[in-house]
Structure 1
Amino acid sequence: MPIFVLFAGFLVLLAAEVPVAIALFLSSLAYIDIFTPMPLSIVVQRMASGLDSFPLIAIPLFVLAGNILNGAGIAARIYAFAVALVGHIRGGLAQVNIFGSMVFAGMSGVAQADAAGLGTIEIKHMKQHGYSAPFAAACTAASAIIGPVIPPSVIMVVYAVTAQVSLTKLFLAGIIPGLTMGVALMILVYVLAATGRVVAPTEPRANIPVIAITFWKALPALVAPIFLTSGMLMGFATPTELGALTVLYAVVLGFITKDLTVSSLFAHIRQSAVTSGILTLIIAAAVPFGWIISVGNYASGLLGFFEAIGANWVVFLLIVNIALLVFGLFIETTAVLLIATPALLPLAAVFGIDPIHLGVIMIVNLLIGAITPPMGVILFICQHIAEIRFSEMIRAILPFYIPLGIMLLIITYWSPIVMWLPNYFY
């Protein structure tokens, strides 16, 4: 079957360590050349049309805003506020780690930025206060994936453009799942500390003046996600326009606090351009790949398979979860999302699953894959920061799959946790 040739070519190229974007492009070219009478130029045409989307402008804007806010000392202020607020809870700085990531999620739309930015501070302080380096790294990796679930989120922008759904609704749909994922991780840390499975000394309970001072210093950071969310709800601007305003806010804030200079601003712009360029190249290369799946009507073949086994929506979502988790182990998150979305959307419609709900399911699935060996990129980031062996990283991360797995099941099979906010405001 031609579709198997398409995927086989893609996987072979990945195994040969060809970059994801190039592998997508070459496998699409080979398919068009072998199985269709269309000219090869159709691939380039689809790439160009796929990038002709206003919401995609939000990607470099959110990446840049996160980099500037992180570079303006915001991460350190968030961490200090988190220590004052939750450092005394059993689990100590591990609770601070997770709570800080939940707050930082409102500014950084990329999990890698959360792990590398706030994670550097968190792991350093946890090691200094007697926490084991593997546990500190594992806690940081697990909490970092909350970032792209709570808006703003770069991967949500990618899904919204691919699935042609409202980015505002998708942002709203991620708020409750993201917050509950953080709470679930905090409960796990509490249990691990209470049972003595990890050494987790607590911090002295902060008094009201200390909390107030750290809150005041962190307030500029806390305002950013509130500004973004309220702007979407009131229809003040589109998410893309709000991204531009957030960049402006970050620049003004950085210069006011004198943590940002002209040279550092240009450094952040260069870094953001590289990150955005890589993501944009993957998106462009995945467009013809997804288009082949759509026009080939391969979704009807998958539907026939589900009908043959008598599957209902429960079984369909179970198979989707398993497939995404497996693919997420080996393939870059954005690439899997771009490939799977055109194939799964028609099936989801048949089973009565809202595309917004499906998007959150897919995103949470793939983010869990980003902290799962052998190719979990966030594992490598945290391992490098903590200066530990990869085997130590894997052993330490294992308990964190329990709350994340439970939350994935809840998000999958209890749609109100995802759809309540979008339905309430729309």
Structure 2
Amino acid sequence: MTLALLFFSLAVFVGLEIPIAFALALAAVTYLLVGASVPMTLVVQRMAPGLDSFPLLAIPLFVLAGNLLNRAGIADRIFAFAVALVGHVRGGLAHVNVVASLIFAGMSGVAQADAAGLGTVEIKAMRQNGFSAPFSAAVTAASAIIGPIIPPSVIMVIYAVMAQVPLSDLFLAGILPGLGIGLLLMATIWFLAATGRIEAPVSPRPPLGEIRRSFVRALLALAAPAFLVAGMLAGAATPTELGAIIVIYAIVLGFANRELSLADLLKCFVDTLVASGVLVFIIAAAVPFGWVVAINNLPAALAEGLLGISHQPWVVLAMINLMLLVAGCFMETTAILLIAVPALLPVLIALDVDLVHFGLIVVFNLLVGAITPPFGVILFIMMDIAQISFRQIVRAILPFYVPLAAALLLITYWPELSLWLPHLVDGR
């Protein structure tokens, strides 16, 4: 009864549009007031130790690096390079949109940042070249969720801390699935263009010299994700340390190109402080909520319930996928992660599911939720940028759920897609 009160309180607070961090903390307080004889100070006492984790330092570093690279005009250079590469392929700038997102994914670990930063450039260019505003926004929303799959990724940092898995393994596990998602999206765009379902003007094939020039202009920007991946593959530094190196690199690059001023630098620091503060506060507020869930044995009960239905990993993973997709339609991504992972870990351990592989499953599920109505946050970002209605973007994004569903099935039931690269580096 008391546990039902906890989740009912959370639903009420979320329904009242109270920010998710306060909703989580207030739900825990409500439980303590009604269902337990525990002092209220426990809520605060649980918050601080929940942030005592070195990998969490990577969050502000990756957010800051993304802000700096975006502010330094990197988005325009990446987009120009992508145009030179694939602008002439049937589907035109829609393919460019996906390729640019794949490249930019290695610089910013937050899908919303990718959607808002690079998305502004992408949608403007697509509309100027004859694409409809709803389709431009839909492609941008679908490609933006690749950002947290390919390292760096803020949501992977949080999962790694909660599941106690090596962050470097999780980052490496996201590279091949991220590229696969991009290819599936591009195949869908090609099909829509080839069958006349969308109007997709193409750019003329550029001469080799122009491709070379655009590559040279983007080379220093492309080096940032290359440093990150090479550093992890070589084991030269931890992901957190690599995040600090990329921040320094972004500052030097911005000033060297004369595209970053002291005012811009200060703005990046402020934006990072706000974004990181929100994320960290959500994590802290979820700790007492998670404690209440744990003392009521919900993880054990959930494990017993799921395993009572089936002991087949593929069946249980299908049920978990469904639960996460539904939750993603109604709640903020980080909050779901903080609630679901501790509850599901006993099930995964019992079924001997690799926790790095499961991390990719969880992250991708929650990212799909971020572009799924009624509360997909990226959809609202795209509505604002493209100046279109909610109905328009929902209709335009429907075809992209097909490749995303295919990607989810591949990630879930082909573990080697995620685990091959981490195992290669580990020598397994």
Range of TM-score over shorter length:
over 0.9
Q: Which residue of 1 aligns with 2:27?
A: 27
| Aligned equivalents of 1:349, 1:423: Cα separation in 2 | 19
| Aligned equivalents of 1:307, 1:397: Cα separation in 2 | 35
User: What amino acid maps onto 1:219 in structure 2?
Assistant: L
Task: Report 1:125-274 matches (<5 A).
Answer: 125-274=125-274
| Aligned equivalents of 2:316, 2:2: Cα separation in 1 | 24
| Aligned equivalents of 1:354, 1:362: Cα separation in 2 | 12
Q: Which residue of 2 aligns with 1:305?
A: 305
Q: How far did residue 237 of structure 1 move?
A: 1.1
1:415 aligns with 2:415: yes
| Aligned equivalents of 2:310, 2:99: Cα separation in 1 | 43
1:46-96 alpha-carbon deviations (Å, 9 max, x no partner): 110011111111111100100010010000000000000011111000000
| Aligned equivalents of 1:312, 1:44: Cα separation in 2 | 40
Structure 1: 4+ residue segments shifted above 3 A = none
Q: Which residue of 1 aligns with 2:366?
A: 366
Q: How far did residue 297 of structure 1 move?
A: 2.0
Q: Which residue of 2 aligns with 1:392?
A: 392
1:192-219 alpha-carbon deviations (Å, 9 max, x no partner): 0000000001111111110110000001
1:239-285 alpha-carbon deviations (Å, 9 max, x no partner): 11111111000000000000000011001110111111111110100
Q: How far did residue 311 of structure 1 move?
A: 4.1
Q: Provide the TM-score with structure 2 as the length reference.
A: 0.98
Q: Is the 8 A contact 2:311 2:351 kept in 1?
A: no
User: What amino acid maps onto 2:43 in structure 1?
Assistant: V
Q: Provide the TM-score with structure 1 as the length reference.
A: 0.98
Other structure's SS at 2:17 match: coil
1:403 aligns with 2:395: no
User: What amino acid maps onto 1:397 in structure 2?
Assistant: I
CA RMSD of aligned residues (A): 1.0
1:73-125 alpha-carbon deviations (Å, 9 max, x no partner): 00000000000001111100000000000000000111111111111011001
Structure 1, unaligned runs of 5 or more: none
| Aligned equivalents of 2:132, 2:73: Cα separation in 1 | 26
Other structure's SS at 1:199 match: coil
1:281-324 alpha-carbon deviations (Å, 9 max, x no partner): 10100112122222332122122222332342111111111110
User: What amino acid maps onto 2:300 in structure 1?
Assistant: S
User: What amino acid maps onto 2:263 in structure 1?
Assistant: S
Q: Is the 8 A contact 1:291 1:342 kept in 2?
A: no
Q: Is the 8 A contact 2:310 2:316 kept in 1?
A: no
Kindly, what percent of the aligned residue pairs are identical? 58
Q: Which residue of 1 aligns with 2:88?
A: 88
Q: Which residue of 2 aligns with 1:6?
A: 6
Q: Is the 8 A contact 1:97 1:140 kept in 2?
A: yes
| Aligned equivalents of 1:228, 1:33: Cα separation in 2 | 47
1:323 aligns with 2:330: no
Q: Which residue of 2 aligns with 1:115?
A: 115
Other structure's SS at 1:59 match: helix
How many residue pairs are counted as aligned between the two chains?
426
1:287 aligns with 2:314: no
Q: How far did residue 418 of structure 1 move?
A: 1.0
Q: Is the 8 A contact 1:76 1:121 kept in 2?
A: yes
Other structure's SS at 1:249 match: helix
